[in-house]
Amino acid sequence: MKTICKEQCCQSGPKIACYRKLRSLPQEELAEQAGVSPAFIGHLEAPNISKALSLDTLFDIAAVLGVPPHKFLCF
């Protein structure tokens, strides 16, 4: 993964965590509704782990959280 992409992916995870917590949604429930594993959400939200995120998955997560996808891509 390119360094710039790695840094931006690390910035998306905490935003996802923030919106998830605002909705009082456990990681497990977000994962189930978005069609990914709870471990994936955990790695995605962890500030020290670089996890690649496809646009399809980002759109799925955004839909579950009721947030426009671009909110996760504004750096």
DSSP state letter for 60: H
In the chain the domains, ranked by start, together with CATH numbers, are: 3-72 (1.10.260.40)
Q: What is the pLDDT of residue 75?
A: 64
Short-list 49, 37, 66, 64, CA closest to 12: 49
Q: What is the pLDDT of residue 7?
A: 52
pLDDT profile of the chain (75 residues), mean per 10: 48 90 97 97 87 90 96 80
Distance between terminal CA atoms of the chain?
Answer: 18
Tokens of residue 18, six digits = 């923030």
Q: What is the pLDDT of residue 19?
A: 95
Task: Write the DSSP assignment of 1-52 as a string of letters.
Answer: --HHHHHHHHHHHHHHHHHHHHTT--HHHHHHHHTS-HHHHHHHH-TT----
Q: What is the pLDDT of residue 28?
A: 98
